[in-house]
Structure 1
Amino acid sequence: MNNVEIEDFYHHDFTTASEWEMFIARLEEIIHEWKLPNIKIGSCLKSGDFVNCPWKENSEKLLFADAEFTLKHFKLKLDDDKGTDNLLEESEEEKVQCHKDALNASNDFARIDGNHLEIARYYGIREFLVLQSVKKDSVMDETKIRILLSSLAIAATNANCDIPTLVQVQEPWQKMYLGISIGKGICTHFDMVHLKKVPLHCKYLTGLLTLFKQKVGEGCGARLDPVMISVRFSYLLKDWTNSTWTQEPPDFDFMQGETLGVAELGKLPFGATYDPIAELHLYTTWPEMSENVVVDSEGFTDLEPQFAPKWSVQVKMVSSPACLLGEYLTDFLHLCNNQKTIVDLLGDAVTYSQQEDQTLSSVFNVLTESKIPTISTVVGKATTKKNKNVEGPISEEILLSILYFLFPDAEENSNTPYGDLTIYNIDEDQWKGVKTCAMDSLVWRLAIVAAHCTHNLGGATALAQLWYEFVQEIRFRWERSILISG
């Protein structure tokens, strides 16, 4: 009896899955859900695909040993994905996708900015899986790293998935990944080393070639063919103060002087308040050369940037540059959400002046003026009278200049008459789908001066004052059948 009790007390069910087995099973399940096994090999990438084509991203959270991880899948979405189902040659079928991409010279030196996309830049691969800690905890312990790598390798092998699987290790800012890819009987390791200081012999091509041959030939004993190499030098220019390339600053006194000319009214400011270019990168590249034709050591080098066969430049712009035209248009568009009326902005004087226009003003105009008055006298008297009734931030002198710019026929010998609006040659294909008014028309000029009033002459109140005066003038001409030019 005692022996039976002891056996029952120490009985364990070894068929219960452990946390590690459940973690592997969950990884395998996610791989099947994303339909990653048995993916056919696609066509070779073209130059610029890494940057120009979008990246597809999937993510899933999972737990292991009281720690939360995120598994992410990244894949470059090509335009000709539908045409990748063509049968490949037998020699091509012996390779997996990551091998073809890694050996493709056109994938070298790709500039990719994005979360975890530096992996594509490191290895030149178009698809990969990344496992990272959710809480941004550093995966520093070597045992933990090996367990995570083994879990990914087992899950990918069970699912017949040959996509590279990597684990983010060390500090997040180091961008360091370790991974593996198993497929077609080949096991490929994606290893990295992060050094605080570059060894002296690794600063030149000769030292790097010696290190490469040593690692490849360890335990192999095979004779290596001449190595094919690609070299790129990067130059970065950040300080623009001492450079002769600095952009000329725009005219900051635009529309802020004592006088307001027609030249300022007819145009909008353009330019950045400070240089919008943050960095300028210059790349000098030597693509695919044999190691026998180039020497680069501490004492001598053939890699002179002036004689590089390929140059390329990358411009990095400031994230939010202060641009004058952008500020003008932004302030103008913000008024679309302004719920205030003209009476709220200009006061009750608008109501009183409207009543006077309908009674006394029209009566006196009939008594004192001829049946068909001259336009200059009409605009001059009406403007003077209305400015006394409705006050706003725009001074009378500037307001007159704006009104004469909108209605040039009211001024004798005007410098800004409306031309023939039908003579403009507009490229219909270029402006197809764009709805706008004719260039230099009345609505065109009104939009420009409205932007000036909003940005420089008093904001929404100035725009309300301009709109009131404009509507008064249009109403006056409409009631008396006076031609509205433009």
Structure 2
Amino acid sequence: MAEEIDDNDFYRENFSADSDWEVFNAQLAEILQKWEVAVDKGRPLQPEELYQCKWQVKTETLDLLRNSIAIDHYEARLTGKLGEALDSSAEKTHCHHDLMCSLNSFGPPIRNGSELHTLARIYGLRRFVVLHPVNAANYMKSTSEFNFFLSSAAVVAAEVSSVVPIFVQLYDPKWNFYTGVSLAPTLRTNFRLIGLEQAPEDCQYLMGLLTLFHDKVPAAYTQAARVSVRTTYALNTVRIRMPLYVPFDHGLSSEDIVVDGDVERLDVQSFYALPHGYTPESRTECYLAYTWPELSEHVAFDSAQRTEFVPSKAPLGQIYLSVEASSYLSCCLRDYLTVANINRSLESYVGRNFSGTSSGAEQTNPFDKITEHKLTTSKRDRNYEAPTKANITSRLPGPMTVSELKELLAYLFPEMYPEMALYPYAKQATKDKFDPMRIKSAAPDSIVSRLSCLLATCHAHLGNLEGMAQLWAAFTRQLRFLWDNSLTVPGIT
């Protein structure tokens, strides 16, 4: 009788199971088919159209080898009539037409890469797919990873008959290193890059690039090459520097808000103490671009010794302006959205005794000072002298000095500080008519409107939250002084 053999002691390799590479290919093919990458319809591109049109980006994520891979589909949304169709006699796709078209080779100088993808700028493509890790820190840096995704891109592109080029991002994302493939019925284009620490001296000029180009083409090809050249000159950056002007102070010397020179005074009736002008980061960049389109290599000469590409001989010259301006007021209003979420109390900024009425150790009821009867039959004349014993601005921690704080109070209470006041309240002969559209708005040139302007200015330029708290504590002290002395609060209509 034959001896029985236990099969549990043997290792069996299941070659019929799908590998990770095959699973990834199947998932990638499903995504590309959903995006209809086999459809190739469109019209010829207009000059610099890729830099002006809107782009549609679709993203899918696949989990593979303990890493997440993002598949991005970029497509330019071309507007206008279709016009004449592209010539398909050579069995070319839109990708190959865009590669050979020089109308979108040069675009306006762009400061950052967020406005237009690098592949669209380099190759002039209207549509492409990019594979890259979701986490930028886990970028591809080994040969096995390169071969895995590049082989997948080539196999899947042929399987789904993709007319859209597929790229794989390698190495650190800041290098913008992409390699990929593009297929057509009779053509195949491989996009390959070589990274060099320093450009060879011959490749820094056109003659060296033409020599390198002729080394890549067959010797039997005798037709002259056609080149397009653009030289770009960056002019000095012009910074938009408008001074901050506030009616209560004309001596602020902060580099961020004041420029050298005289500052013209403004009428308080037409402009209040709100922050205005532009932030110091605002600037205007100017670029001069000179272009020589579609030149034969026999008439184009550029080397280290002599060059034909001088601005005075350029057939086409353009100037580009890039303006980035952020106003003080818009930044102030945006920052106010975060002020509403502050949970700290006023005591945490300026101390417990911010009212200046007691030391905090007394056990008296603070409401007694409010309800205590001190009113007399006749009101005092408003032409009073400045107080000397109120200590309204003393012992208030904050970023502003006592003199600066008094200038703010002189703007709010001009009659209390006649030697410092520059803008008294305007006397209104008749009462303003009721405006239902301004139910929640303060009256023009009132103490409420001036206080709002000063709080905005303090938040923007005089200490942020600490400066606002310091001003509010001084304002409440001043109101307490007016109450205790039976004086009228100015600026109230």
Q: Which amino acid aligns with 1:25?
A: A
CA distance in 1, matches of 2:365, 2:354: 12
The aligned residue for residue 74 of structure 2 is 75
Corresponding position: 1:158 with 2:178: no
CA distance in 1, matches of 2:277, 2:54: 31
Q: Percent identity?
A: 22
CA distance in 1, matches of 2:193, 2:428: 67
CA distance in 2, matches of 1:307, 1:438: 63
Structure 1 residue matching 2:372: 3-state secondary structure: helix
Is the Cα–Cα contact under 8 Å of residues 72 and 130 in structure 1 kept in the other structure? yes
CA distance in 1, matches of 2:14, 2:328: 74
The change in CA–CA distance for 1:201 and 1:405 in structure 2 (over 3 A counts) is closer
User: Unmatched 5+ residue regions in structure 1?
Assistant: 255-262, 423-431
The change in CA–CA distance for 1:90 and 1:131 in structure 2 (over 3 A counts) is closer
Q: Which amino acid aligns with 2:306?
A: F
CA distance in 2, matches of 1:483, 1:199: 76
Alignment of 1:445-484 (within 5 A): 445-451=450-456, 455=462, 459-469=467-477, 484=491
Q: Which amino acid aligns with 2:59?
A: N
The change in CA–CA distance for 1:329 and 1:466 in structure 2 (over 3 A counts) is farther
Residue 418 of structure 1: how far off its partner (Å): 4.1
Structure 1 residue matching 2:129: 3-state secondary structure: strand
CA distance in 2, matches of 1:190, 1:324: 47
Is the Cα–Cα contact under 8 Å of residues 274 and 329 in structure 2 kept in the other structure? yes
The change in CA–CA distance for 1:412 and 1:272 in structure 2 (over 3 A counts) is closer
The aligned residue for residue 85 of structure 2 is 89
Alignment of 1:12-411 (within 5 A): 16-41=17-42, 44=45, 47=48, 49-50=50-51, 53-54=54-55, 56-63=57-64, 66=65, 68=67, 70-76=69-75, 78=77, 80=79, 86=82, 89=85, 91=87, 95-110=92-107, 111=110, 113-114=113-114, 117-132=117-132, 136-141=138-143, 145-146=146-147, 148-170=149-171, 172-215=173-216, 217-218=217-218, 221-224=220-223, 226-233=225-232, 253=253, 267=273, 276=281, 282-291=287-296, 292-305=298-311, 308=314, 309-312=316-319, 335-336=339-340, 337-340=342-345, 346=354, 349=357, 355-362=368-375, 365-366=376-377, 369=378, 373-377=380-384, 392=396, 402-408=408-414
User: Unmatched 5+ residue regions in structure 2?
Assistant: 245-250, 255-264, 359-363, 430-436
CA distance in 1, matches of 2:425, 2:75: 54
The structure carrying a bigger helix percent of its residues is 1
CA distance in 1, matches of 2:99, 2:37: 19
The change in CA–CA distance for 1:19 and 1:450 in structure 2 (over 3 A counts) is closer
Structure 1 residue matching 2:155: 3-state secondary structure: helix
The aligned residue for residue 259 of structure 1 is none
Residue 190 of structure 1: how far off its partner (Å): 1.4
The change in CA–CA distance for 1:157 and 1:236 in structure 2 (over 3 A counts) is farther
CA-atom RMSD in angstroms: 5.4
Residue 344 of structure 1: how far off its partner (Å): 5.0
Q: Which moved more, 1:98-107 or 1:180-189?
A: 98-107
Deviations 1:443-471 (Å, cap 9, x if unpaired)? Answer: 43222333456635963542332442565
Residue 168 of structure 1: how far off its partner (Å): 2.7
The aligned residue for residue 427 of structure 1 is none
The change in CA–CA distance for 1:89 and 1:397 in structure 2 (over 3 A counts) is closer
Q: Which amino acid aligns with 2:368?
A: Q
Q: Which amino acid aligns with 2:309?
A: L
Q: Which amino acid aligns with 1:361?
A: K
Q: Which amino acid aligns with 1:136?
A: N
CA distance in 2, matches of 1:447, 1:195: 59
CA distance in 2, matches of 1:421, 1:73: 65
CA distance in 2, matches of 1:399, 1:182: 72
Is the Cα–Cα contact under 8 Å of residues 345 and 461 in structure 1 kept in the other structure? no
Structure 2 residue matching 1:296: 3-state secondary structure: coil
Q: Which moved more, 1:52-61 or 1:21-30?
A: 52-61
Residue 180 of structure 1: how far off its partner (Å): 0.9
Residue 155 of structure 1: how far off its partner (Å): 0.7
Is the Cα–Cα contact under 8 Å of residues 38 and 160 in structure 1 kept in the other structure? no
Is the Cα–Cα contact under 8 Å of residues 228 and 293 in structure 2 kept in the other structure? yes
Deviations 1:373-421 (Å, cap 9, x if unpaired)? Answer: 43334xx58x668657997458887666545433546787974134599
CA distance in 2, matches of 1:281, 1:175: 25
Is the Cα–Cα contact under 8 Å of residues 53 and 76 in structure 2 kept in the other structure? no
Q: Which amino acid aligns with 1:122?
A: I
- TM-score using structure 1 length: 0.67
The change in CA–CA distance for 1:470 and 1:58 in structure 2 (over 3 A counts) is farther
The aligned residue for residue 449 of structure 2 is 444
CA distance in 1, matches of 2:288, 2:392: 66
CA distance in 2, matches of 1:175, 1:359: 75
Residue 298 of structure 1: how far off its partner (Å): 3.0
Is the Cα–Cα contact under 8 Å of residues 353 and 386 in structure 1 kept in the other structure? no
Is the Cα–Cα contact under 8 Å of residues 50 and 76 in structure 1 kept in the other structure? no
CA distance in 2, matches of 1:400, 1:463: 10
CA distance in 2, matches of 1:98, 1:415: 69
- TM-score using structure 2 length: 0.66
Is the Cα–Cα contact under 8 Å of residues 482 and 489 in structure 2 kept in the other structure? no
CA distance in 1, matches of 2:239, 2:139: 44
